[in-house]
Structure 1
């Protein structure tokens, strides 16, 4: 017996053949009927219903995108479409396409597809131009001014360890050798604590500030504390920050500018539309419920003093019980000390 291809069945919204269009027609009277499929344009016929070649092409494209270029034999793909068509026909015969739940889902799917189609149509008619990309690059990327630093560091757990290393450096010890022997992030790599070139924004603030304050070729005379531990830092060099070339960031600027265009289009539609919000935008307790609470209190005071005390006793203990778990919760919310690691790049 032939089996479904799991990759195709799970998570796909593509329905093959013609009957899915018929189901959509029953859900929405205004839906335009799907064009008839000629035998010459079909890959298979199932109980008189043709499966279009375009449906197979769509499935092949979907599989290629989902499986990162992996392909399946055409025989398996066609069999997948045949089995889908059989399920569509079976569901239609059982009139599942007329259930309110499915009609609502079909309408939601239709609206989602129309939303995507409208955005794609807008971007096709209003593509991002090279001039717009260049202007965005000049204002946001090329205009950035700053400094890059080249530095090495020795990371240890305690301040005492860091001060001991500084004392050894003062006596002429080699920084790279000390890093390879003692640094928490250089023992394995044996790179002398080299961090390469980085901008201030790539490192945590105490580290960046210490590097910026150092002279070229100098090391910190006091340990620099961060959430990773204690650092001894050697500033090797600095240079003006060089922005990446336009071609290197063009693909990153494109989607940003597309989203910007779409947002402007949607805002224009919103301003032109007549919109009325019909539900409260904040959750509020009904007035009747709020008024009922204080009205019940006098009735409780009419009870005998002894009974009132008994009734009040459990209520008095409730806040204490409720507050107790809050203490460990507050401790858990405090930032946990991070494990020693390389400064954030």
Structure 2
């Protein structure tokens, strides 16, 4: 059997497998009263110098591997060997009284604070759950209320303004938009379906194009060509409608953690305001002071007529700092809480059917 410790798990948090107290966890027990006979033989997977390694430790190690290696797994014999070698290291460290070293005690204190922080976070979410009413209110204010307008349009794309003007002239004489699109448009896809772009929202099109569509009345086409980076467009607005928001259930899983973080953030801010906090270190770096260069020694051999006191005075003035040293700007208080990063606001619009023009002329299509 390969006795090598699994490389993925040797360092860092991998050494803290199984948080519950047990006889095999002698590192945690050494600083307090000895814990004996917590793990029974029938509940153990191995014994090292009389110390049992529990089945729970093995389960925790399997979960640790799955989280770290994205679902990868190792044979059970290697996992058990990993736990045995960890226990050997722990026992040797205790024999050397490394658990009393300043380095160990400092890291232990940091680990305690980290675990307490996570425990507080979980406890807050458990005791302050997001209600269905809160989710519904957020849905109404952030999703439904911000729903925009969808447009249905056709376009004809050509290379020059003159070509676009000729097409508009044909339309003015009663020409059929779809037939003219099939005949003239250089947008390969839309030239085969009468220039139909389907339904879209404004931000799916380049700005000049979407602005032109929004200004048109239903059933009207542009009286002047519209230029974009792709060429010149003649646009027909066929219809418009209020955008349909996604159903509540479709976005509930996004809204719930977002609201949880909002609640936690408010709690942290309240605690911060009520706490007496004193910051004892500078939070900005002072710029090093620039000293004026020393004046050059007087040139004793230089003739008096060639000396230029006025110029030297100007040079000295130039060399001096232009402005007085400024005090560093007062920094905003450091954020003391371990609050998770603010979640992005859930998208207000459902995914749209893509009706992109062909790659040969991607101009008006959806971004």
TM-score (structure 1 length as normaliser): 0.67
2:202 — aligned with what? 200
Partner of 1:112: 114
Match status 1:164 vs 2:159: no
Report what 2:56 is aligned to: 54
Structure with more of its chain in helix, by fraction: 1
Cα distance in 1 for residues equivalent to 2:95 and 2:232: 73
Contact 2:209 2:228 in 1 (8 A): yes
Alignment check: 8 A CA contact 1:229 1:340 kept: no
Q: Whole-Å Cα distance in 2 between the matches of residues 192 and 6 of structure 1? A: 62
Structure 2 residue 174 is matched with structure 1 residue 174: no
Deviation per CA, 1:178-218, whole angstroms, max 9, x where unpaired?
69x7338x49x988766543322444433321221233455
Mapped to 2, the partners of 1:13 and 1:163 lie a distance apart of 70
Distance 2:246 2:162 in 1: 39
Q: Give 1:91 shift.
A: 5.0
Q: Counterpart of 2:239 in 1: which secondary structure? A: strand
Deviation at 1:270, TM superposition (A): 1.3
Task: Tell me which residue corresponds to 1:303.
Answer: 298
Q: CA deviation at 1:67?
A: 5.3
Cα-to-partner distance string for 1:90-138 (whole Å, 9 max, x where unaligned): 5555666555555444433332222111111111111111121112112
Deviation at 1:53, TM superposition (A): 2.2
**Matches of 1:20 and 1:231, distance apart in 2:** 75
Match runs of 1:11-50 below 5 Å? 13=14, 15-16=16-17, 22-23=26-27, 36-50=38-52
Provide the C-alpha distance between the structure 1 equivalents of 2:232 and 2:256, rounded to a whole number of angstroms: 42
How far the C-alpha of 1:234 sits from its partner, in A, is 4.3
Give, in whole Å, the separation in 1 of the partners of 2:209 and 2:35.
Answer: 64
Distance of aligned partners of 1:54 and 1:240 in 2 relative to their CA distance in 1, 3 Å threshold: same
The aligned residue for residue 247 of structure 1 is 249
Q: CA deviation at 1:149?
A: 1.7
State how far apart, in whole Å, the 2-side matches of 1:154 and 1:32 are: 83
Q: Which has the higher contact order (CA 8 A, sep 6+)?
A: 2
Q: Aligned runs of 1:193-342 on 2, under 5 Å?
A: 195-220=197-222, 222-226=224-228, 233-285=235-287, 289=289, 293-294=291-292, 297=293, 299-304=294-299
Q: Give the aligned partner of residue 319 of structure 1.
A: none
- CA contact 2:9–2:15 (8 Å) conserved in 1: no
Mark the structure with the bigger radius of gyration.
Answer: 2
Q: Is the 8 A contact 1:19 1:88 kept in 2?
A: no
Deviations 1:40-61 (A, max 9, x none): 3322223333222222222333
Count of aligned residue pairs for this structure pair: 304
Could you say if the C-alpha distance between residues 217 and 84 of structure 1 is closer, same or farther in structure 2, counting changes exceeding 3 Å?
farther
